[in-house]
Amino acid sequence: MAVYSYARTSEVEATEVGTQLEELLEKESLRLHTYALRVGIRVNQNIVEQGLLWSVELADRPAWQNLLTKLENGDIIITCTMERMFSSCEDMQNTLKLLRKRKVRLFVVDLEGELTNAQFTPSFEKVLRVFHSLERRRSTERIKTVKQKQRSKGRFLGGSRPFGYLIHTNGRLIENPMEQKVLKHILKMNSQGKSLRAISAEVSTPVMPISFKTVQRLLKRHQLGGNPLETGSMAEI
């Protein structure tokens, strides 16, 4: 009998919790292994799939597909939470059907039980909370995907107008010749070693005052690749 732990993470989750994701996974792993020992099983292999879309179902994940080739009757899979494994209620139902057919047991730490056991009845509130959280993350993922597609088409998604550009009626950014000339001058003076305040004093006019902080933001935008669609309002005056 082999025992496998399984977890997946997503880009959206990494964005939400940032550097805390690794710490979160470590805490979940500790909970998982503690629970495993409590029910008398010892994990032989830990499987983590990272950077997946929340909408990708279990059957379409590479590591899971590989695991299926290894599973034998009597093997055990244990996961900390349902959302670490499933993408939807349908995904869960299809997986449970497959595992029961292959006589593989699935334990979910958060539910404190064996999900493949037909006699096990998890708390309705817990299951509802899990899928509510999952749907929220999938919704966030869909919005992020749409915005990325819009950016790839050159569309400006709102916020303060980036310095050096105008917003066309079709929603795209187009260069502002006058401000682009100022931008080039700022970059030239920066390459000459002039201070931010000195640059600000030289390019500012009564009509278009440019603070040293604005100069700093413009230079940072240039260092990041100069794409106003990625840096947003960083370059506003």
pLDDT at 18 over 70: no
pLDDT at 218 over 50: yes
Distance, CA of 226 to CA of 229 (rounded, Å): 9
Sheet holding 105-108, edge to edge: 45-52, 3-10, 76-79, 105-108, 113-114
Distances (CA, A) of 37 to 75, 79, 113: 16, 14, 13
* Among candidate residues 87, 112, 146, the one where a domain is terminated: 146
Instruction: Judge if 19 and 54 occupy the same domain.
Output: yes
Residue 157: the pLDDT is: 57
The tens digit of pLDDT for each residue in 28-85 reads 999 999 999 999 999 999 999 988 877 889 999 999 999 999 999 999 999 998 888 9
Instruction: Judge if 32 and 142 occupy the same domain.
Output: yes
| Chain Cα centroid distance, residue 188 | 37
What's the chain's Rg over C-alpha atoms?
A: 26
The tens digit of pLDDT for each residue in 92-120 reads 889 999 999 999 999 999 888 999 998 88
Residue 4: the pLDDT is: 96
How confident is residue 235, by pLDDT bands cut at 50, 70 and 90? very low
Instruction: Judge if 142 and 27 occupy the same domain.
Output: yes
User: What long-range pairs does 112-121 form, CB within 8 A, spacing at least 24?
Assistant: 112/35
Residue 233: the pLDDT is: 42
- CATH code (residue 92): 3.40.50.1390
* Six-digit token string for 80: 């900390």
How confident is residue 15, by pLDDT bands cut at 50, 70 and 90? low
Residue 119: the pLDDT is: 85
Instruction: Judge if 164 and 142 occupy the same domain.
Output: no
Average pLDDT value for residue range 224-234: 56
- Interhelix angle 212-223/177-191, rounded to 10 degrees, is 90
Residue 143: the pLDDT is: 63
Instruction: Judge if 120 and 55 occupy the same domain.
Output: yes
Instruction: Judge if 133 and 208 occupy the same domain.
Output: no
* Among candidate residues 146, 171, 190, the one where a domain is terminated: 146
Q: For residue 159, what is the DSSP state?
A: S
Q: Which residue segment(s) compose the domain that 205 sits in? A: 157-235
Measured from the Cβ of residue 84, the count of other Cβ atoms closer than 10 Å reads: 21
The tens digit of pLDDT for each residue in 151-202 reads 565 555 556 778 888 877 777 778 889 888 999 999 999 999 999 999 999 9
How confident is residue 148, by pLDDT bands cut at 50, 70 and 90? low
What is the enclosing helix (H) or strand (E) of 96? Answer: helix 89-101
pLDDT at 232 over 50: no
Q: How many domains does the chain have?
A: 2
Q: Is residue 7 within 8 Å of 48, Cβ to Cβ?
A: yes
Measured from the Cβ of residue 227, the count of other Cβ atoms closer than 10 Å reads: 13
